[in-house]
Amino acid sequence: METSMKIGVIGAGGVGAYFAAALARSGVEVHLLATERHIAPIAEHGITVTKGDGTPGFSARVASVSTKAEEIGACDAVILTCKAGQVTEAMDAAHALIGPETAVLPLQNGVTASGRIADSVGPSHALGGVCVIISYLQEPGTVHHVGGQPAIILGEIDGSISPRATQLSEALAAAGVSTSVSSDIVTDMWRKFMLISSYGGVGALCREPVGRTRANPLTRSLVEDSMREVALLAGKVGAKLGEQDIDQMMAQVDAFAPDSTASMQRDLIAGRSSELEEQNGTIVRMAEHHAVAVPIHHTIYRAMALLDGSAM
What CATH superfamily is the domain 187-311? Answer: N-(1-d-carboxylethyl)-l-norvaline Dehydrogenase; domain 2 (1.10.1040.10)
DSSP 199-230: HHHHHHHHT--HHHHHHSHHHHHHHHHHHHHH
Domain ranges in the chain are 6-183, 187-311
* Confidence check: pLDDT of 147 > 80: no
* Confidence check: pLDDT of 152 > 90: yes
Q: Which of 58, 52, 120, 111 is nearest to 84 (CA)?
A: 111
Which amino acid belongs to residue 274? S
Give Cα separations from 10 to 30, 195, 213, 259, 293 (angstroms): 11, 25, 35, 30, 36
Instruction: Please state the φ and ψ torsions of residue 135, each to the nearest 5 degrees.
Output: -150, 155
Element (H, E) at 10: strand 6-10
Confidence class of residue 310 from pLDDT cuts 50, 70 and 90? low
pLDDT at 173: 97
| Residues 302/296, Cβ–Cβ less than 8 Å | no
Contacts of 95 (CB under 8 A, 6+ apart): 69, 120, 121
Q: What's the mean pLDDT in 276-287?
A: 96
pLDDT, tens digit, 9 for 90 and up, residues 6-61: 999 999 999 999 999 999 999 999 999 999 999 999 999 999 999 987 788 999 99
Phi-psi region of 82 (alpha: psi -120 to 50; beta: other; left: phi over 0): beta
Phi-psi region of 252 (alpha: psi -120 to 50; beta: other; left: phi over 0): alpha
pLDDT, tens digit, 9 for 90 and up, residues 217-227: 999 999 999 99
pLDDT at 1: 40
pLDDT, tens digit, 9 for 90 and up, residues 159-207: 999 999 999 999 999 999 999 999 999 999 999 999 999 999 999 999 9
| Residues 32/66, Cβ–Cβ less than 8 Å | yes
* Confidence check: pLDDT of 312 > 70: no
d(CA 249, CA 226): 12
Report the mean per-residue pLDDT for the chain: 94
| Residues 48/59, Cβ–Cβ less than 8 Å | yes
Q: Cα Rg for the chain, rounded, in angstroms?
A: 19
Predicted TM-score (pTM) of the model is 0.92
pLDDT, tens digit, 9 for 90 and up, residues 73-117: 999 999 999 988 899 999 999 999 999 999 999 999 999 999 999
* Confidence check: pLDDT of 3 > 90: no
pLDDT at 2: 46
pLDDT, tens digit, 9 for 90 and up, residues 112-146: 999 999 999 999 999 999 999 989 899 999 999 98
| Residues 219/202, Cβ–Cβ less than 8 Å | yes
The SS3 call for residue 97 is: helix
CATH architecture of 6-183: 3-Layer(aba) Sandwich (3.40)
DSSP 164-204: HHHHHHHHHHHTT-EEEE-S-HHHHHHHHHHHHHHHHHHHH
Give Cα separations from 63 to 68, 93, 177, 261 (angstroms): 14, 20, 20, 35
pLDDT, tens digit, 9 for 90 and up, residues 209-218: 999 999 999 9
Q: Which of 270, 261, 280, 267 is nearest to 134 (CA)?
A: 261
Q: Any idea what the Cα angle at residue 123 is, between residues 155 and 99, rounded to 5°?
A: 90
